[in-house]
Amino acid sequence: MRSVLPVLSVVAAILGFWLLCVVPMNMHLVADQAQRDGLLVTPDTPVARQDVGGVALALKNTHLIPLTYEFKRPRLPSPQQVGREMYATIIDKKITSKRSLVYHGWVTLAPTLLGFLIGTSLGILLAVGIVYSRVMDRSVMPWAIVSQTIPILALAPMIIVVLGSMGIQGLFPKSIIAAYLSFFPVVVGMVKGLRSPDGMQLDLLRTYNASKAQGFWSLRLPASAPYLFASLKIGISASLVGTIVAELPTGARAGFGARMLVGDQYGQPLVSWAALFAAALTAAALVGIFSLIERVTLKRMGMAAA
């Protein structure tokens, strides 16, 4: 709780900087619009204004500064505009409406969660295989590590289209991207976790004459829990970003990614910005949920929260 005040002040500093930037970023557009509306603007031709910087133009036309915060199609929308747009599309709109961000959020969230579930389960299975089979460890593990350095996310839109042309559509293609992105963090984390019991603990189980299965269920699996949670938190946010990128191709009509694209292409920056922040909030909420589960689980297992 003691970090509430510092967080609030950092957020306030960022908002202040944002508010300052809004004026010079939008000044030229606002000045052009003001002239068309018959307001007094110095210098009075668009060409002459091009030679003046945003800050200088704002200082010459102080009466136009308030307008920059309420401009309809800004280069940089003001925080209050984004806030209002988010309020309008999240709370005011009915969830069934095509313009509701909750609706679009669910369209993105559903494949994310499905993919995350698939990726995590497969990742845990592969990790168990790697820990118990020397061949898999030696031949697959190096590739699992190398594959994390490959910018596969850049291909997400293509993979969607290819799968679409094979007749696979809807929820599933996006889930594959999400699954892929959560897969490797889980593999790497779980391998580390399943190997974390030290020699002393393994020896103890041997003196108990424990079987391999007993060793797995009562030592290795519990010992891997902190590592698993760390991987899950990385995996879920990677999955969400993956799903959003996967929504980019023209096919997607709903979802956060589609909203961002629509806002960009139809000159509605507010739509893009609202979707952007809603997506970040969703990611933060998902990671927050996992942190909570982590804290409760580890506490009940008698381990200090990592």
Partner 1 sequence: MIWVLVAIVIWALGWWINIRLSNSARSDETLMRVAIPVIFGLTVVIVWEMLVHGFDVNPVILPAPSSIIERLGAEGPRLWADFKQTILKGAVSGYVIGGGAALAVAVLADRSDFLTRGILPVGSFMAALPIVGTAPIFVKWLGSDWESKAAVVAVMVFFPILVNTVAGLRDTSSMQRDLMRTYGAGYWPTLFKLRLPAAMPFMFNGLKIATTLALIGAIVAEFFGSPTVGMGFRISTSFGQLALDMVWAEIVVAAIAGSAFYGAMTLIEKRVTFWHPSQR
Candidate list 148, 211, 214, 218; residue touching partner 1; CB under 8 A: 148
Q: Does 275 bind partner 1 (CB under 8 A)?
A: yes
Single out the segment in contact with partner 1 by CB under 8 A; choices: 1-9, 53-61, 89-97, 208-216: 1-9
Residue closer to partner 1 by CB (options 216, 277) is 277
Site string for partner 1, 9-28 (x = CB under 8 A): xxx--x----------x---
At which residue do the structure tokens 């930037």 appear? 21
* CB 54 to partner 1: min, Å: 12
Residue closer to partner 1 by CB (options 34, 137) is 137
Candidate list 18, 33, 43, 75; residue touching partner 1; CB under 8 A: 75
Q: How far is the first Cα of the chain from the last one, in angstroms, to the nearest whole number?
A: 18
| CA-wise closest residue to 241 among 201, 276, 293 | 276
Give burial (CB, 10 Å; 0-12/13-18/19+) of 175. buried
Give burial (CB, 10 Å; 0-12/13-18/19+) of 215. middle
Residue closer to partner 1 by CB (options 154, 304) is 154
| CA-wise closest residue to 83 among 97, 69, 96 | 69
* CB 143 to partner 1: min, Å: 6
Contact 219, 205 (CB under 8 A): yes
Q: Does 150 bind partner 1 (CB under 8 A)?
A: yes
At which residue do the structure tokens 């200088």 appear? 56
Q: Does 161 bind partner 1 (CB under 8 A)?
A: yes
* CB 178 to partner 1: min, Å: 13
Amino acid (1-letter code) at residue 247: E
Contact 109, 172 (CB under 8 A): no
Which bin fits 88, alpha (ψ -120 to 50), beta or left (φ > 0)?
A: alpha
Residue closer to partner 1 by CB (options 11, 204) is 11
Residue 63 CB neighbours (<10 A): 10
Which residue ranges make up the site for partner 1 (CB under 8 A)? Answer: 2-3, 5-11, 14, 25, 75, 134-135, 137-143, 146, 148-151, 153-155, 157-158, 161-162, 165-166, 237, 240-241, 244-245, 248, 256-257, 260-261, 264, 269, 272-273, 275-277, 279-280, 283-284, 287
